[in-house]
């Protein structure tokens, strides 16, 4: 696979790009209608029981903590461990007030086995992570190894390759809103140009479902979001097979 994140930034440079934008990131995504609501939808689509009491959830690629907040909104009694490759994004997350303690770990997904994060987890949410990985198949298998028997994983991700309408809407929104707003807010649109290109080069819905299946997950399904992100942002859910008894 190319060292570029699907014709965006070189993959090794993606965490540094997020470091640069960390201070303004929450303000920018907050301007996106439905952003936080849709993360809560993906958290809910994990299908965990009740408020999550006694459950451990891994937030993979937590960024500034938006996905962490979504998990705790839906499962307020769960214990959440969150990690990210960007030190500055993680610093923003740690500065926030949380309704209960959250363990934040600075690590790449490639270094999870040396991070001190240990399973089994009862669920994993990975928001906007897989698209930026050099070897998504290996990393999905690695995340699966951290899940308990029968536990679910949810990928919250852009996917437009299967829909001409979705690609058109994505290009228009990027060209007229996301990239100009990023440039106006931070003076540098590099990360947002990368976002546009990386989404256009990423898996279609069917291909990402197949990727989850090939990584060993069962009961794979997907569902999209509302508003302008309908057909553009999706939840992909799979489940680790139950261990034989």
Nearest to 29 by CA among 216, 219, 156: 156
Q: What is the pLDDT of residues 190-206, one digit of tens each?
A: 888 888 999 999 999 99
Residues 6+ apart with CB under 8 A from 184: none
Res. 229: pLDDT tops 60: yes
Would you state the pLDDT for residue 186? 72
- Burial (CB < 10 A; 0-12, 13-18, 19+), residue 99, is exposed
Give Cα separations from 93 to 89, 103, 129 (angstroms). Answer: 6, 11, 16
Would you state the pLDDT for residue 12? 55
What residues does 83 pair with on adjacent strands? 60, 105
Q: Indicate the SS3 state at residue 7.
A: coil
Its pTM stands at 0.91
Fold of 33-160+203-239: Rossmann fold (3.40.50)
* Count of beta carbons in the 10 Å neighbourhood of residue 7: 12
Residues 6+ apart with CB under 8 A from 210: none
């Amino acid at each position: 696979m190319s060292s570029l994140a699907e014709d965006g930034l070189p993959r090794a440079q993606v965490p540094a790009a997020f470091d640069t934008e960390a201070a303004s990131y929450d303000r920018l995504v907050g301007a996106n209608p439905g952003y936080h609501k849709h993360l809560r939808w993906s958290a809910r689509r994990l299908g965990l029981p009740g408020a999550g009491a006694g459950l451990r959830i891994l937030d993979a690629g937590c960024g500034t903590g938006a996905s962490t907040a979504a998990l705790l909104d839906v499962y307020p009694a769960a214990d959440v461990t969150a990690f990210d490759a960007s030190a500055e994004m993680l610093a923003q997350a740690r500065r926030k007030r949380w309704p209960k303690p959250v363990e934040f770990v600075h690590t790449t997904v490639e270094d999870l086995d040396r991070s001190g994060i240990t399973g089994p987890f009862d669920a994993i949410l990975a928001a906007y992570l897989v698209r930026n990985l050099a070897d998504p198949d290996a990393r999905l298998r690695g995340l699966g190894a951290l899940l308990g028997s029968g536990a679910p994983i949810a990928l919250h991700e852009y996917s437009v390759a299967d829909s001409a309408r979705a690609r058109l809407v994505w290009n228009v929104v990027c060209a007229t809103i996301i990239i100009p707003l990023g440039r106006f807010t931070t003076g540098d649109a590099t990360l947002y140009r990368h976002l546009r290109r990386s989404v256009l080069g990423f898996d279609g819905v069917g291909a990402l479902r197949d990727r989850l299946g090939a990584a060993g997950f069962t009961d794979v399904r997907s569902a999209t979001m509302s508003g302008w992100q309908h057909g553009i942002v999706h939840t992909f859910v799979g489940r680790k097979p139950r261990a034989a008894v």
